């Protein structure tokens, strides 16, 4: 399959432009430019035996997430809507985003559109490709207002990939690059390695095994004074069920800074937008 907007499927031919088409085109171009492997990937069904060596809280989490008796996920695409702000005390801006993650060659492409002052569009591009992370922001698609790369972004984007997998596609982590360790009945740690780098996080569970918080110290907050390493968390307030699988409800992301928490994004992944095991668009797609 090729990466598509699930709501745009239908008969071939011309269709009316919808709000958000510009964001979708930018997203597909970003994914194509990353030149990620097309697959297919490993879609073997996960069995009880695949989980037998893991600690009990990890097994409970994976069973809650519905990985047993289902094919493994090697890629996914999903859409997000909510709001975002750039600095503590800053104004909230409407935000929509598309993202594509793959486990074939660990990669993540996240394309977000903000409305500065509810009017001026700004596109943010967060990527993790071949071991390197980058954050790029452009107003009107032309004026660069943020451009970050280097070790902080390499580790930070890999940690964000780990967060995505924990919440949306945990079978992407069932491989030798991942280490799971139970802490207590309601907590485990998970570490992910790629291109000689390792990031880790602590995941808190409710009695069912549902993740209620994810905390890592392997990300850097992009603040006006420069990158600051700080704990980063993504609490999930509710889990829904879609197609008989758990799906995160309202969620947010918060930096625990020295002078207090800084929640900077909240919203939700859009119901019905999650598509698993699809190939990226070919290079040159616009």
The reply to whether 9 falls in a domain is no
Strands 93-102 and 75-84: antiparallel
pLDDT in tens, 30-85: 999 999 999 899 999 999 999 999 999 999 999 999 999 999 999 999 999 999 99
| CATH number, residue 244 | 2.50.20.10
Q: Are 205 and 163 in contact (CB under 8 A)?
A: no
User: How far is Cα 256 from Cα 193, in angstroms, rounded to an integer?
Assistant: 24
pLDDT in tens, 192-250: 999 999 999 999 999 999 999 999 999 999 888 888 999 999 999 999 999 899 999 99
At 9 the pLDDT is 36
User: How far is Cα 11 from Cα 25, in angstroms, rounded to an integer?
Assistant: 19
Instruction: Give me the long-range contacts of 119-126 (CB less than 8 A, separation at least 24).
Output: 121/22, 123/23, 123/26, 125/26, 125/30, 126/157, 126/160
Per the document, the length of the chain is 286
What are φ and ψ of residue 49, in 5° steps? Answer: -65, -30
- The pTM (predicted TM-score) of the whole model is 0.90
User: How far is Cα 213 from Cα 69, in angstroms, rounded to an integer?
Assistant: 26
At 12 the pLDDT is 29
Q: Are 248 and 214 in contact (CB under 8 A)?
A: no
Longest Cα–Cα distance in the chain: 55
At 120 the pLDDT is 81
The reply to whether 5 falls in a domain is no
pLDDT in tens, 156-206: 999 999 999 999 999 999 999 999 999 999 999 999 999 999 999 999 999
Q: Are 232 and 219 in contact (CB under 8 A)?
A: yes
The reply to whether 4 falls in a domain is no
Q: How many domains does the chain have?
A: 1
The reply to whether 129 falls in a domain is yes
> For residue 208, how far is the Cα from the chain centroid?
23
Question: Is the confidence at residue 13, as pLDDT, over 50?
Answer: no
The reply to whether 128 falls in a domain is yes
Question: Is the confidence at residue 8, as pLDDT, over 50?
Answer: no
125-142 in b/e form (b: 16+ CB < 10 A) is bbbbbeeebbbbbbeeee
CA distances from 235 to 48, 163, 239, 251 (A): 28, 11, 11, 6
Lookup: tokens for 58: 């990890």
Q: Which of 286, 280, 285, 284 is nearest to 129 (CA)?
A: 280
Dump the DSSP string for 247-264: EE-SEEEEEEETTEEEEE
Q: Are 228 and 220 in contact (CB under 8 A)?
A: yes
Q: Are 157 and 56 in contact (CB under 8 A)?
A: no
The reply to whether 107 falls in a domain is yes
- Beta bridge mates, 100: 77, 109
Residue with tokens 């994004």: 265
User: How far is Cα 235 from Cα 203, in angstroms, rounded to an integer?
Assistant: 10
Position 20 confidence tier, pLDDT thresholds 50, 70, 90:
low
The reply to whether 1 falls in a domain is no
pLDDT in tens, 103-128: 999 999 999 999 887 678 889 999 99
Residue 206 structural domain: 19-36+45-276
pLDDT in tens, 132-146: 999 888 886 777 777
């Amino acid at each position: 399959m090729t990466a598509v907007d699930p709501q745009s499927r239908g008969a071939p031919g011309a269709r009316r432009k919808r709000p958000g088409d510009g964001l979708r085109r930018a997203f597909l171009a970003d994914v194509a430019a990353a030149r990620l492997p097309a697959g297919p990937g490993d879609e073997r069904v996960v069995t009880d035996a695949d989980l037998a060596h893991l600690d009990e809280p990890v097994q409970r989490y994976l069973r809650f997430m519905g990985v047993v008796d289902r094919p493994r996920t090697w890629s996914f695409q999903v859409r997000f809507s909510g709001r975002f702000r750039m600095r503590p005390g800053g104004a909230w801006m409407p935000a929509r985003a598309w993202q594509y993650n793959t486990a074939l060659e660990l990669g993540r492409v996240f394309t977000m559109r903000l409305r500065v002052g509810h009017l001026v569009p700004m596109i943010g591009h967060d990527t993790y490709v071949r071991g390197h992370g980058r954050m790029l922001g452009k107003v009107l698609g032309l004026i660069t207002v943020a451009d970050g790369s280097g070790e902080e972004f390499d580790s930070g984007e890999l940690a964000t990939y780990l967060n995505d997998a924990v919440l949306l596609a945990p079978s992407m982590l069932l491989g030798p690059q991942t280490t799971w360790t139970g802490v207590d009945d309601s907590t485990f740690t998970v570490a992910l390695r790629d291109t000689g780098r390792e990031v880790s996080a602590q995941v808190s569970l409710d009695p069912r095994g549902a993740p209620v918080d994810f905390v890592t110290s392997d990300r850097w907050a992009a603040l006006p004074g420069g990158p600051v390493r700080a704990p980063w968390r993504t609490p999930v307030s509710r889990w829904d069920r879609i197609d008989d699988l758990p799906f995160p409800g309202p969620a947010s992301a918060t930096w625990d800074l020295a002078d207090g928490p800084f929640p900077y994004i909240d919203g939700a992944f859009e119901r019905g937008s999650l598509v698993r095991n699809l190939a990226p668009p070919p290079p040159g797609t616009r």
